[in-house]
Structure 1
Amino acid sequence: MPDDAIPSGGTGPALVPTAATLARPEGARRYLVATPAGTSPAGRPLVLVLHGAGASAQQVLGQAYPPSPLSVFLEIAARDSLVVIAPDAGKGGWSDCFASSARVARKDDVGFIAALIDHAIAHHDVDPGRVYLIGVSRGGWMAYRAAVEIPQRLAAFSVVLAGMPLPGRSPAPSMPLPALVFGCTADPLIPYHGGKHWYAPWFIEPVRGIEDSVHAWRELAGLPDTPEVTQLQASDPRGRTSVTRFMWGSSSDGMQVGLVRIDGAGHAEPSRLKRYPRFINWLTGLQNADLEVAEAAWAFFRDKRAGAQLTA
């Protein structure tokens, strides 16, 4: 086993993230980075992982309770030699796609993400054409903003449990980008069909439905109306949740937009390996176990390169 890997209790060894800071106009910003040993003259892929509201870089990479299913990216990194970076939103959370211009002027998190990409290219042998972004919940809103503002820096992005802002609320995407969106139909926080739950906190705004959000990216990419549909084998003997994958675009190294619809599940990333405790399920709803969210996202990302998705 390499020195930079540890047993994960999952499918294999996992890289160990280390804490770092990056100077930004608003002050030093914290992040975690996990990098394979040695050098890679050909360049490594980079996956940036954005945590949700009330969480942290430590939580999303499994270093704080409860460990997120997205921490499985550390196992993928050890296996497939990629760099993983988890920025920390810091005080006040992300300046996401709902943030005012005044808030962005004080703390520009897209600028932070872009600076982390530059730093990783300069110091961690990252291939500039293989940069991928994934965010969960409010981190998903942050991923939408980055995909709209710096699409040329990304080869693909993924959003878990978050719909886009309503039309007119924030800038619309103008450059096609491969996108994979995970949505749960019984999400008690961010409604699958859009709008806002009557009991949602004051800081949560109405959103587009998950399918409408996917449609925005598919339409921009000019992909065909009819997707390839795959029903995953259900793991729950009681049949409470199920997963259907819809994929527009047939080439794994070309332009694709995908939807992973998780029927019956709540505001929890699907995972077999990283299960949330029961008291969290009482608040967020059921957690599906038919797929591993990080593995599904990596399978979508793996063959895609920035600037290469010119055709479906």
Structure 2
Amino acid sequence: MPLTDTPQTVSLDIGGRRRRYLHLAPTTPNPDAPLLLALHGTTQKPATMRRFSGRTFEHLAESLGADLVYLEGYRRAWNDGRRLQTSAAQRENVDDIGFVEAVVRRFDRPTLAIGYSNGGQLLHRYVRESDVPLAGAMLIAAGLPVAEDREYPDDLRQSIPTLLIQGTADPVMPYHGGTVRVLGRSKGQVISARETAVAYARTTDAPLESTDGPVTRTDWPGVRLITLAGAGHIIPNLVTSPPFVGPAPRVLDSGEELRDFFTLG
């Protein structure tokens, strides 16, 4: 049975709250494969992210023999450490750092974390606060909040390989920086996609850059920014064109970009 047909909902107690994640196990497990850990965006749940992404991460996990887990946010959002509190997860100070840490410890293997939008902003906080290590991070449509809009430190506690993907026509998370808006409500300010990548590269050296049609890859040591011209607030894949989030050109597959950057399989 393929991985995409075998989901299991698992519950954990984190700080007195019942938290859940969806676990998809591969048909043929590979003990050397990393754990793939996915964090959805605001208003989403694990099932939403599966559909929204065209199941690209599931196809990757199955081909690698890797376990894939989709963590479920608190009331469809994450406590990402921004000062402007617009979700119950923020207002109730839900321990999402502890939730991610518990799942990483539970599987006890190198973990590649994938964060889309609000999920990516939780990863911004995670790698600046947590001592439970990740092997790498993929940040999709997730600009780094400006310093005035976040409560966590500037310095990275975890300096890890980082892959970023952003569309230039994103109506939610502005590619060039500015106000993040979800359903017309402000979620605070973010820096540009390139500045976000530089914050992870931590260098003033000029990057290497290559362009193939609408796709531009900008590389620093250990960090890559993929710019998708004309794309909206999407998880790029070759299957879906979700409504309401801007253009969704089917020219890039996030799962394959993850495979390529982290040299998986």
Query: Does structure 2 retain, via aligned residues, the 8 Å contact 1:158–1:179?
Result: yes
Q: What SS does the aligned partner of 2:190 have?
A: coil
The answer to whether residue 44 in structure 2 is matched with residue 33 in structure 1 is no
Which residue does 1:119 correspond to in 2? 106
Q: What SS does the aligned partner of 1:268 have?
A: coil
Deviation track 1:78-112 (CA, whole Å, cap 9, x = no partner) reads 11111111100032621013168994874110110
Matches within 5 A, 1:1-312: 3=1, 5=2, 14=4, 16-37=6-27, 42-61=31-50, 67-69=51-53, 71-91=55-75, 93-98=77-82, 103=90, 106-121=93-108, 127=109, 130-150=110-130, 152-168=132-148, 169-170=150-151, 171-175=153-157, 176-196=159-179, 201-219=184-202, 222=203, 225-232=205-212, 234=213, 242-249=214-221, 256-272=222-238, 274-277=239-242, 280=243, 283-302=244-263
Flag structure 1 segments of 5+ consecutive residues without an equivalent. 7-13, 62-66, 122-126, 235-241, 250-255, 304-312
Alpha-carbon distance, 1:261 to partner:
0.7
Residues 288/162 of structure 1: CA separation in 2 closer, same or farther (3 Å cut): same
Give the greater-gyration-radius structure (CA): 1
Which residue does 1:10 correspond to in 2? none
Identity of aligned residues (%): 27
Q: What SS does the aligned partner of 1:213 have?
A: helix
Alpha-carbon distance, 1:38 to partner:
6.3
Residues 105/118 of structure 1: CA separation in 2 closer, same or farther (3 Å cut): farther
Query: Does structure 2 retain, via aligned residues, the 8 Å contact 1:135–1:159?
Result: yes
Deviation track 1:126-162 (CA, whole Å, cap 9, x = no partner) reads x2xx211111111111121112222651111011111
Deviation track 1:210-249 (CA, whole Å, cap 9, x = no partner) reads 1111111111xx4x623222223x4xxxxxxx11011112
Normalising by structure 1, we get a TM-score of 0.75
Alpha-carbon distance, 1:197 to partner:
6.2
Q: How many residue pairs are counted as aligned between the two chains?
A: 258
Normalising by structure 2, we get a TM-score of 0.87
Question: Which residue identity does 1:95 align to in structure 2?
Answer: N
Residues 104/297 of structure 1: CA separation in 2 closer, same or farther (3 Å cut): farther
Alpha-carbon distance, 1:266 to partner:
1.3
In structure 1, C-alpha distance between the alignment counterparts of 2:68 and 2:182, rounded to whole Å: 36
In structure 2, C-alpha distance between the alignment counterparts of 1:18 and 1:214, rounded to whole Å: 34
In structure 2, C-alpha distance between the alignment counterparts of 1:152 and 1:91, rounded to whole Å: 25
Q: What SS does the aligned partner of 2:241 have?
A: coil
Residues 109/203 of structure 1: CA separation in 2 closer, same or farther (3 Å cut): farther
Q: What SS does the aligned partner of 1:78 have?
A: helix
In structure 2, C-alpha distance between the alignment counterparts of 1:187 and 1:264, rounded to whole Å: 8
